Amino acid sequence: MAENAAALPPREAMEFDVVIVGAGPAGLAAAIRLKQLSVAAGREVSVVVLEKGSAVGAHILSGAVIDPKGLSRLIPDWKEKGAPLATEVAEDQFLLLTTRGSIRFPNFLMPPLMNNHGNYIGSLGALCAWLAEQAAELGVEIYPGFPAAEVLYDENGAIAGVATGDMGVGRDGEPTENFVRGMELRGKYTFFAEGARGSLTKELIRKFDLERNSDPQKYGIGLKELWRVAPGKHRPGLVQHTFGWPLDGRTGGGSFLYHYGDNLVSVGFVVHLNYENPYLSPYDEFQRFKTHPAIRGTLEGGKRIGYGARALTEGGWQSIPELVIPGGALLGCAAGFMNVPRIKGSHNAILSGIAAAQAAFEAIGAGRAHDRLEAYTSAVRTGDIAADLKPVRNVKPLWSRFGTYLGIALGGLDMWLNTILPGKGLGFTLKHRKPDYATLKTAVAAKPIAYPKPDGVLTFDRLTNVSFSGTNHEENQPVHLKLADPAIPVAVNLPEWAEPAQRYCPAAVYEIVIEAGGSPRFQINAQNCVHCKTCDIKDPSQNITWVCPEGGGGPNYAGM
Ligand SMILES: Cc1cc2nc3c(=O)[nH]c(=O)nc-3n(C[C@H](O)[C@H](O)[C@H](O)COP(=O)(O)OP(=O)(O)OC[C@H]3O[C@@H](n4cnc5c(N)ncnc54)[C@H](O)[C@@H]3O)c2cc1C
Ligand code: SF4
């Protein structure tokens, strides 16, 4: 928004029944189900979806092995209708990597909750683009390139909609000759489906204290490259997960390799953001991982064709915040419905969209508006999402407490007990402890990590990889990474934690530059930002706030 908003012309407003922020699986499922209910009941419901990416799917990054449970409930004939999910999982492999070797876990030891039988491999971005087509055919208005930048409230403090950001604001905060005022989209109900660490969702969680009865949300950063491999190396339907090397036993995370489509392999690496060593670089761990003898063979002779990164939620059941506020609801990963051991959240995102749509449709039919959709909360807390998340609720806290080897073993035991004695498991719920920003050791107490130089064939430097994310931002606009106190990076973060932003950012946005006189300066290369939200989560001083840049800015992922 331009800095002196009072001097600007008033915003135009449009009225809808339901306003949805975010065209991911959660937001699109809600939009589609609202229209399906509307057609079935013969009662018009107007629905609008705002998406900050330049196109639907441009900001979606996922594995993705997709459990079709949600999709089948939303669109039972998705196969006949041509949903882009053609590769069914054929084989599951789970490997422990050591420095030079690997140990494969026999599949019969793996808890059935981890089984990928009946799931499909594909691009979640492509699936979202297809869902958007289905939604548009039903009459949903979808506006890509329009970030929701501000929450609107009515006179009683209930959510009344959102406003899109102003366009054409210069770097100095003043309107340029291209200035266009944002729009107000007002709704009886507003759904926040922004995915992990949504910027408006974060504001709502604070303002309404929505985490008062839950544990703090936990996060991971997921980095991904899309490769086209040599045809002889491609094994369609193979799903491979690893843990262990290159991470040490105190750092949670692991990798995925999914073979699908036209000789495509989606290779990715997740690092839990409660890591302790400020010298750790999730990006460089990912690059190093690809050089392991058990992995490199698949990629050698192939070509990396895409890159990106995105935070994912890991708190699970005990971190689900209050889901509704008067006039609003949190959907999908904005609410944290990710199943961590399965690395899956898209099925729950779709299920949450369906549940929220049902609740809003009934409320609007009863003449209600701007109140709490309690039916949505109870659908989540007693329905399929609860059944998916509750049995795995201890896996992440066990991993955090006991480290990778014992933690995973205990987590596996808990999942087995949950299979044998449904609803029981270990019989208790472990809490998450510190939020992720508070887990770093100081630089003096930590050991620097020497990462190998990229070879440009199998491993790449950050900037080269960012060019494979299609990232682009209008240069003349305010920096969208807001520092509450611009002095903190150099005055506090540098001496205390060797300014970890230089390493946790997967897009080389943050740099400590040494000036001619030898003094350090914190530089923000905002145009590189791939919108992963890691800085907003991990900055140990909680000094960085990620806000939406001008519409359409950010990555332009294709098939991620
Ligand atoms: C590396 C990685 C691997 C994963 N692997 C899998 C997997 O294999 N299987 C699986 O099921 N799940 C997987 N997940 C999780 C899955 O991607 C998420 O659970 C799912 O995408 C959540 O859907 P969502 O609709 O809640 O949010 P998202 O998919 O994040 O979509 C949110 C949308 O909202 C938009 N948006 C955000 N803020 C605004 C705003 N203010 N205004 C306008 N638009 C906005 C975003 O641009 C985005 O398009 C993975 C995640 C990651 C990061
Ligand atoms: S600046 Fe923040 S949100 Fe952007 S890529 Fe870096 S860590 Fe991610």
Give the distance (Å) from ligand 2 centre to CA of residue 205. Answer: 21
Q: What is the pLDDT of residue 417?
A: 86
Supply the DSSP symbol for 294.
H
pLDDT band (50, 70, 90) for residue 6: low
pLDDT digits (tens, 9 = 90+) for 420-438: 877 777 788 999 999 999 9
Ligand 1 nearest atom to the CA of residue 220, by list position: 53
Give the distance (Å) from ligand 1 centre to CA of residue 347. Answer: 11
Give the distance (Å) from ligand 2 centre to CA of residue 191. Answer: 24
Ligand 2 nearest atom to the CA of residue 544, by list position: 2
The residue contributing the CA closest to ligand 1 atom 28 is 195
pLDDT digits (tens, 9 = 90+) for 441-451: 999 999 999 99
Give the distance (Å) from ligand 2 centre to CA of residue 213. Answer: 29
Give the distance (Å) from ligand 2 centre to CA of residue 534. Answer: 6
The residue contributing the CA closest to ligand 1 atom 9 is 344
Q: What is the pTM of this model?
A: 0.97
Q: What is the pLDDT of residue 9?
A: 87
Q: Is 222 in the pocket of ligand 1 (CB under 6 A)?
A: yes
Asked if the peptide bond before residue 64 counts as cis, ω within 30 degrees of 0, the response is yes
Q: What is the pLDDT of residue 208?
A: 98
Q: Is the pLDDT of residue 244 over 80?
A: yes
Q: Is 391 in the pocket of ligand 1 (CB under 6 A)?
A: no
Average per-residue pLDDT in the chain?
96
Tell me the C-alpha distance between 11 and 7, whole Å.
Answer: 12
Residues having CB within 6 Å of any atom of ligand 2: 481, 505-507, 509, 529-535, 546
Q: Is the pLDDT of residue 192 over 80?
A: yes
Of 281, 525, 535, which is best to mutate to test ligand 2, by the most ligand atoms within 8 angstroms of its C-beta?
535
What share of the chain has pLDDT > 70, as a percent? 99
- Enumerate the β-bridge partners of residue 308: 224
Q: What is the pLDDT of residue 325?
A: 98
User: Can you tell me the mean pLDDT for 119-140?
Assistant: 98
Q: What is the pLDDT of residue 2?
A: 58
Of 62, 65, 121, 260, which is best to mutate to test ligand 1, by the most ligand atoms within 8 angstroms of its C-beta?
62
- Enumerate the β-bridge partners of residue 167: 180
Give the distance (Å) from ligand 1 centre to CA of residue 252. Answer: 21
Q: What is the pLDDT of residue 4?
A: 62
Q: Is the pLDDT of residue 329 over 70?
A: yes
Q: Is the pLDDT of residue 3 over 60?
A: no
The residue contributing the CA closest to ligand 2 atom 1 is 529
- Reported residue count of the chain is 560
The residue contributing the CA closest to ligand 2 atom 3 is 533
Structural tokens at position 336: 């944290």
Tell me the C-alpha distance between 262 and 123, whole Å.
Answer: 12
Q: What is the pLDDT of residue 30?
A: 98
Q: Which of 488, 493, 530, 538 is nearest to 508 (CA)?
A: 530
Angle subtended by helix axes 346-365 and 374-382, to nearest 10: 150
pLDDT digits (tens, 9 = 90+) for 9-66: 899 999 999 999 999 999 999 999 999 999 999 999 999 999 999 999 999 999 999 9
Angle subtended by helix axes 25-41 and 346-365, to nearest 10: 40
Q: What is the pLDDT of residue 1?
A: 58
Angle subtended by helix axes 25-41 and 124-137, to nearest 10: 20
Q: Which of 6, 20, 147, 21 is nearest to 547 (CA)?
A: 147
User: Can you tell me the mean pLDDT for 256-265?
Assistant: 98
Least confident range of 2-11, 200-209, 425-434, 498-507: 2-11
Q: Quick check: 428 and 414 in contact, CB under 8 A?
A: no
Q: Is 316 in the pocket of ligand 1 (CB under 6 A)?
A: no
Residue 367 burial (CB count, 10 A): 7
What share of the chain has pLDDT > 90, as a percent? 91
Q: Which of 533, 551, 535 is nearest to 543 (CA)?
A: 535
Q: Is 66 in the pocket of ligand 1 (CB under 6 A)?
A: yes
Between CA 464 and CA 257, with CA 240 as vertex, the angle to 5 degrees is 15
Tell me the C-alpha distance between 414 and 411, whole Å.
Answer: 5
